[in-house]
Structure 1
Amino acid sequence: MEPYTMPLAPLEALDAPPVAVEVVLLRHDPAEGFTYRQLATTLRRGMRPDQAARSLALLGEGDDTHVVHSTSWRTTRQGGITLTYLVHPDPAPGRPGIPLPEPHVIAYASRPGHPTPQGLEMGHVVAHAVRHLAFLEGSDPAIATHPELVRSLRSLPATTAGEIPYA
Protein backbone atom coordinates (compact mmCIF):
# COMPACT_ATOMS: atom_id res chain seq x y z
CA MET A 1 0.00 0.00 0.00
CA GLU A 2 1.39 3.39 -1.02
CA PRO A 3 1.57 6.11 1.64
CA TYR A 4 -0.87 8.95 1.03
CA THR A 5 0.69 12.29 0.13
CA MET A 6 -1.35 15.43 -0.13
CA PRO A 7 -0.95 17.20 -3.47
CA LEU A 8 0.67 20.62 -3.16
CA ALA A 9 -0.80 23.70 -4.79
CA PRO A 10 1.61 26.01 -6.61
CA LEU A 11 3.03 28.59 -4.19
CA GLU A 12 1.59 31.45 -6.24
CA ALA A 13 -1.91 30.08 -5.68
CA LEU A 14 -1.62 30.09 -1.89
CA ASP A 15 -2.68 33.07 0.16
CA ALA A 16 0.70 33.44 1.83
CA PRO A 17 0.94 35.08 5.26
CA PRO A 18 2.98 38.27 5.59
CA VAL A 19 6.67 37.65 6.14
CA ALA A 20 8.93 40.01 8.06
CA VAL A 21 12.70 39.91 7.94
CA GLU A 22 14.34 40.93 11.20
CA VAL A 23 18.05 41.65 11.50
CA VAL A 24 19.95 41.55 14.78
CA LEU A 25 23.11 43.62 14.40
CA LEU A 26 25.45 42.17 17.01
CA ARG A 27 28.54 43.54 18.69
CA HIS A 28 30.64 42.33 21.59
CA ASP A 29 32.89 44.12 24.04
CA PRO A 30 34.88 41.88 26.41
CA ALA A 31 34.08 44.17 29.37
CA GLU A 32 30.49 45.03 28.47
CA GLY A 33 29.31 41.79 26.84
CA PHE A 34 26.96 41.57 23.87
CA THR A 35 24.82 44.43 22.62
CA TYR A 36 22.54 44.50 19.62
CA ARG A 37 20.34 46.62 17.42
CA GLN A 38 17.20 45.29 15.77
CA LEU A 39 15.92 46.27 12.33
CA ALA A 40 12.92 44.78 10.51
CA THR A 41 11.09 45.09 7.23
CA THR A 42 8.27 43.36 5.41
CA LEU A 43 9.50 41.01 2.71
CA ARG A 44 8.50 42.42 -0.65
CA ARG A 45 7.25 40.21 -3.46
CA GLY A 46 10.17 38.87 -5.48
CA MET A 47 12.80 39.64 -2.83
CA ARG A 48 14.73 36.82 -1.23
CA PRO A 49 14.94 36.93 2.60
CA ASP A 50 18.77 36.86 2.51
CA GLN A 51 18.72 39.85 0.16
CA ALA A 52 16.30 41.72 2.45
CA ALA A 53 18.53 41.06 5.49
CA ARG A 54 21.65 42.31 3.70
CA SER A 55 19.76 45.38 2.50
CA LEU A 56 18.54 46.19 6.03
CA ALA A 57 22.11 45.97 7.32
CA LEU A 58 23.28 48.20 4.42
CA LEU A 59 25.64 45.49 3.14
CA GLY A 60 26.57 45.33 -0.51
CA GLU A 61 26.10 42.06 -2.37
CA GLY A 62 29.88 41.47 -2.48
CA ASP A 63 30.47 42.27 1.21
CA ASP A 64 31.91 39.18 2.87
CA THR A 65 33.40 41.05 5.84
CA HIS A 66 30.19 40.48 7.81
CA VAL A 67 28.59 37.23 8.92
CA VAL A 68 24.94 37.15 7.83
CA HIS A 69 23.23 34.06 9.23
CA SER A 70 19.60 33.02 9.42
CA THR A 71 19.08 31.92 13.03
CA SER A 72 15.36 31.34 13.57
CA TRP A 73 11.78 32.01 12.60
CA ARG A 74 8.63 32.55 14.63
CA THR A 75 4.98 33.27 14.05
CA THR A 76 3.34 36.56 14.89
CA ARG A 77 0.06 37.00 16.75
CA GLN A 78 -1.51 38.02 13.44
CA GLY A 79 -0.47 34.78 11.71
CA GLY A 80 2.55 36.15 9.90
CA ILE A 81 6.11 34.85 10.00
CA THR A 82 9.26 36.62 11.17
CA LEU A 83 12.61 35.37 9.88
CA THR A 84 15.54 36.39 12.09
CA TYR A 85 19.06 36.99 10.81
CA LEU A 86 22.13 37.81 12.85
CA VAL A 87 24.74 40.17 11.36
CA HIS A 88 28.20 40.57 12.88
CA PRO A 89 29.91 42.93 13.23
CA ASP A 90 27.37 45.73 13.46
CA PRO A 91 28.05 47.93 10.40
CA ALA A 92 27.24 51.04 12.48
CA PRO A 93 28.89 50.37 15.87
CA GLY A 94 28.47 54.01 16.95
CA ARG A 95 24.70 53.71 17.09
CA PRO A 96 23.15 52.91 20.48
CA GLY A 97 22.73 49.23 21.19
CA ILE A 98 20.63 47.23 23.63
CA PRO A 99 22.61 45.19 26.18
CA LEU A 100 21.94 41.46 26.11
CA PRO A 101 21.50 40.51 29.78
CA GLU A 102 23.80 37.89 31.30
CA PRO A 103 23.17 35.12 31.80
CA HIS A 104 21.32 34.73 28.54
CA VAL A 105 17.78 33.62 29.22
CA ILE A 106 16.53 30.74 27.12
CA ALA A 107 12.78 30.75 26.43
CA TYR A 108 11.01 27.39 26.66
CA ALA A 109 7.56 26.29 25.56
CA SER A 110 5.30 25.47 28.47
CA ARG A 111 3.60 22.45 26.86
CA PRO A 112 4.57 19.73 24.41
CA GLY A 113 2.94 20.27 21.05
CA HIS A 114 2.77 24.06 21.57
CA PRO A 115 6.26 25.23 20.61
CA THR A 116 5.87 29.00 21.02
CA PRO A 117 7.09 30.10 24.47
CA GLN A 118 4.81 32.40 26.45
CA GLY A 119 6.22 35.88 27.02
CA LEU A 120 8.79 35.62 24.23
CA GLU A 121 10.82 38.84 24.12
CA MET A 122 13.52 40.16 21.82
CA GLY A 123 16.24 39.33 24.37
CA HIS A 124 15.22 35.65 24.13
CA VAL A 125 15.44 35.79 20.33
CA VAL A 126 18.89 37.42 20.43
CA ALA A 127 20.18 34.97 23.07
CA HIS A 128 19.00 32.11 20.86
CA ALA A 129 20.72 33.66 17.82
CA VAL A 130 24.02 34.10 19.67
CA ARG A 131 23.92 30.56 21.05
CA HIS A 132 22.94 29.23 17.62
CA LEU A 133 26.14 30.72 16.16
CA ALA A 134 28.17 29.46 19.14
CA PHE A 135 26.89 25.96 18.44
CA LEU A 136 27.97 26.27 14.78
CA GLU A 137 31.31 27.98 15.46
CA GLY A 138 33.36 24.79 15.25
CA SER A 139 31.72 23.43 12.11
CA ASP A 140 30.64 26.37 9.93
CA PRO A 141 33.54 27.78 7.88
CA ALA A 142 31.67 31.07 7.29
CA ILE A 143 31.76 31.73 11.03
CA ALA A 144 35.26 30.35 11.58
CA THR A 145 36.74 32.88 9.13
CA HIS A 146 35.71 35.78 11.41
CA PRO A 147 38.16 35.67 14.35
CA GLU A 148 36.51 38.56 16.24
CA LEU A 149 33.17 36.74 16.20
CA VAL A 150 34.79 33.44 17.21
CA ARG A 151 36.46 35.16 20.21
CA SER A 152 33.11 36.67 21.19
CA LEU A 153 31.30 33.34 20.93
CA ARG A 154 33.98 31.57 22.93
CA SER A 155 33.41 34.04 25.78
CA LEU A 156 30.02 32.39 26.38
CA PRO A 157 29.54 29.75 29.05
CA ALA A 158 30.09 26.23 27.70
CA THR A 159 26.37 25.46 27.33
CA THR A 160 25.17 26.39 23.86
CA ALA A 161 21.99 25.79 21.87
CA GLY A 162 21.44 22.08 21.51
CA GLU A 163 23.54 21.28 24.58
CA ILE A 164 21.17 22.43 27.31
CA PRO A 165 20.78 19.78 30.02
CA TYR A 166 17.27 18.75 30.99
CA ALA A 167 16.07 19.34 34.54
Structure 2
Amino acid sequence: MKAATVRELKKELAFKSKEELIAICLQLSRFKKENKELLTYLLLAVDDEAGYIQGVKEEIDEQFLNINTLSYYYIKKSVRKILRMIKKYVRYSKNKETEVELLFYFCKKLKTLTPPIHKNRVLQNIYERELAGVQKKINALHEDLQYDYNLELEAFFND
Protein backbone atom coordinates (compact mmCIF):
# COMPACT_ATOMS: atom_id res chain seq x y z
CA MET A 1 0.00 0.00 0.00
CA LYS A 2 1.35 3.39 -0.98
CA ALA A 3 1.27 6.06 1.72
CA ALA A 4 -0.69 9.23 1.02
CA THR A 5 0.97 12.63 0.89
CA VAL A 6 0.75 15.03 3.81
CA ARG A 7 -1.51 17.27 1.76
CA GLU A 8 -3.95 14.43 1.08
CA LEU A 9 -3.94 13.43 4.76
CA LYS A 10 -4.58 17.02 5.81
CA LYS A 11 -7.58 17.25 3.46
CA GLU A 12 -9.07 14.01 4.76
CA LEU A 13 -8.54 14.97 8.42
CA ALA A 14 -10.40 18.23 7.82
CA PHE A 15 -13.55 16.23 7.05
CA LYS A 16 -13.38 14.05 10.19
CA SER A 17 -15.40 14.74 13.33
CA LYS A 18 -13.86 15.23 16.76
CA GLU A 19 -14.69 11.69 17.84
CA GLU A 20 -13.20 10.22 14.67
CA LEU A 21 -9.98 12.21 15.18
CA ILE A 22 -9.70 10.95 18.76
CA ALA A 23 -10.19 7.38 17.55
CA ILE A 24 -7.52 7.84 14.86
CA CYS A 25 -5.02 9.23 17.38
CA LEU A 26 -5.66 6.36 19.79
CA GLN A 27 -5.26 3.83 17.00
CA LEU A 28 -1.96 5.46 15.99
CA SER A 29 -0.73 5.22 19.56
CA ARG A 30 -1.23 1.46 19.59
CA PHE A 31 1.11 0.70 16.72
CA LYS A 32 4.45 2.27 17.51
CA LYS A 33 6.14 3.41 20.67
CA GLU A 34 7.34 6.55 18.87
CA ASN A 35 3.75 7.50 17.96
CA LYS A 36 2.74 7.16 21.59
CA GLU A 37 5.75 9.22 22.74
CA LEU A 38 4.96 11.96 20.23
CA LEU A 39 1.30 12.05 21.28
CA THR A 40 2.40 12.20 24.92
CA TYR A 41 4.61 15.18 24.15
CA LEU A 42 1.97 16.97 22.07
CA LEU A 43 -0.82 16.45 24.59
CA LEU A 44 0.97 16.64 27.94
CA ALA A 45 4.40 18.22 27.68
CA VAL A 46 4.14 20.88 24.97
CA ASP A 47 3.01 23.51 27.50
CA ASP A 48 5.83 22.72 29.96
CA GLU A 49 9.03 22.71 27.89
CA ALA A 50 11.21 23.11 31.00
CA GLY A 51 9.62 20.04 32.58
CA TYR A 52 10.08 18.12 29.33
CA ILE A 53 13.78 19.05 29.22
CA GLN A 54 14.18 18.01 32.86
CA GLY A 55 12.52 14.66 32.19
CA VAL A 56 14.80 13.98 29.22
CA LYS A 57 17.85 14.99 31.29
CA GLU A 58 16.83 12.48 33.96
CA GLU A 59 16.55 9.80 31.29
CA ILE A 60 20.01 10.76 29.98
CA ASP A 61 21.42 10.45 33.52
CA GLU A 62 19.86 7.02 33.86
CA GLN A 63 21.28 5.91 30.51
CA PHE A 64 24.77 7.12 31.42
CA LEU A 65 24.60 5.19 34.70
CA ASN A 66 23.78 2.01 32.78
CA ILE A 67 26.79 2.24 30.44
CA ASN A 68 29.04 -0.81 30.55
CA THR A 69 32.46 0.78 31.08
CA LEU A 70 34.49 -2.42 30.77
CA SER A 71 35.31 -1.74 27.14
CA TYR A 72 35.36 1.31 24.88
CA TYR A 73 33.35 -0.74 22.38
CA TYR A 74 30.38 -0.93 24.77
CA ILE A 75 30.81 2.71 25.75
CA LYS A 76 30.65 3.77 22.09
CA LYS A 77 27.52 1.71 21.46
CA SER A 78 25.81 3.16 24.53
CA VAL A 79 26.81 6.73 23.74
CA ARG A 80 25.43 6.41 20.20
CA LYS A 81 22.20 4.97 21.62
CA ILE A 82 21.85 7.90 24.03
CA LEU A 83 22.50 10.35 21.21
CA ARG A 84 19.82 8.70 19.03
CA MET A 85 17.38 8.99 21.94
CA ILE A 86 18.19 12.70 22.38
CA LYS A 87 17.75 13.39 18.66
CA LYS A 88 14.36 11.64 18.75
CA TYR A 89 13.18 13.79 21.66
CA VAL A 90 14.47 16.92 19.93
CA ARG A 91 12.46 15.96 16.83
CA TYR A 92 9.33 15.86 18.96
CA SER A 93 9.95 19.30 20.40
CA LYS A 94 11.18 21.13 17.26
CA ASN A 95 12.50 23.81 19.62
CA LYS A 96 16.08 24.98 18.96
CA GLU A 97 16.60 25.99 22.60
CA THR A 98 15.60 22.52 23.75
CA GLU A 99 18.02 20.98 21.27
CA VAL A 100 20.90 23.17 22.41
CA GLU A 101 20.11 22.52 26.08
CA LEU A 102 19.94 18.74 25.67
CA LEU A 103 23.07 18.50 23.51
CA PHE A 104 24.99 20.65 25.99
CA TYR A 105 23.89 18.33 28.75
CA PHE A 106 24.92 15.29 26.70
CA CYS A 107 28.38 16.81 26.11
CA LYS A 108 28.79 17.56 29.82
CA LYS A 109 27.91 14.00 30.75
CA LEU A 110 30.17 12.60 28.03
CA LYS A 111 33.09 14.72 29.18
CA THR A 112 32.78 13.51 32.78
CA LEU A 113 32.47 9.87 31.74
CA THR A 114 35.00 7.43 33.16
CA PRO A 115 37.15 6.07 31.58
CA PRO A 116 37.95 9.40 29.90
CA ILE A 117 36.82 9.88 26.32
CA HIS A 118 40.05 11.57 25.22
CA LYS A 119 41.70 8.13 25.21
CA ASN A 120 39.35 6.92 22.47
CA ARG A 121 39.31 8.69 19.11
CA VAL A 122 35.73 7.71 18.18
CA LEU A 123 34.28 9.04 21.44
CA GLN A 124 36.36 12.19 21.11
CA ASN A 125 35.02 12.68 17.57
CA ILE A 126 31.42 12.24 18.74
CA TYR A 127 32.02 14.83 21.44
CA GLU A 128 33.65 17.33 19.06
CA ARG A 129 30.99 16.80 16.36
CA GLU A 130 28.16 17.46 18.83
CA LEU A 131 29.87 20.58 20.18
CA ALA A 132 30.33 21.86 16.61
CA GLY A 133 26.65 21.15 15.91
CA VAL A 134 25.64 23.00 19.06
CA GLN A 135 27.74 25.96 17.96
CA LYS A 136 25.88 26.10 14.61
CA LYS A 137 22.51 25.83 16.33
CA ILE A 138 23.37 28.61 18.76
CA ASN A 139 23.86 30.99 15.83
CA ALA A 140 20.21 30.45 14.82
CA LEU A 141 18.88 31.54 18.23
CA HIS A 142 17.95 34.98 19.54
CA GLU A 143 20.89 37.29 20.34
CA ASP A 144 20.40 37.18 24.12
CA LEU A 145 20.30 33.39 24.10
CA GLN A 146 23.30 33.32 21.78
CA TYR A 147 25.31 35.30 24.33
CA ASP A 148 24.33 33.03 27.23
CA TYR A 149 24.99 29.82 25.32
CA ASN A 150 28.27 31.12 23.89
CA LEU A 151 29.48 31.75 27.44
CA GLU A 152 28.59 28.17 28.29
CA LEU A 153 30.31 26.97 25.10
CA GLU A 154 33.50 28.83 26.00
CA ALA A 155 33.50 27.04 29.36
CA PHE A 156 33.61 23.73 27.42
CA PHE A 157 36.64 24.80 25.44
CA ASN A 158 38.44 26.25 28.48
CA ASP A 159 38.17 23.06 30.54
TM-score of the aligned structures, taking structure 2 as reference length: 0.32
Would you tell me which structure has more strand in proportion to its own residues?
1
Structure possessing the higher radius of gyration over alpha carbons: 2
TM-score of the aligned structures, taking structure 1 as reference length: 0.31
Would you tell me which structure has more helix in proportion to its own residues?
2
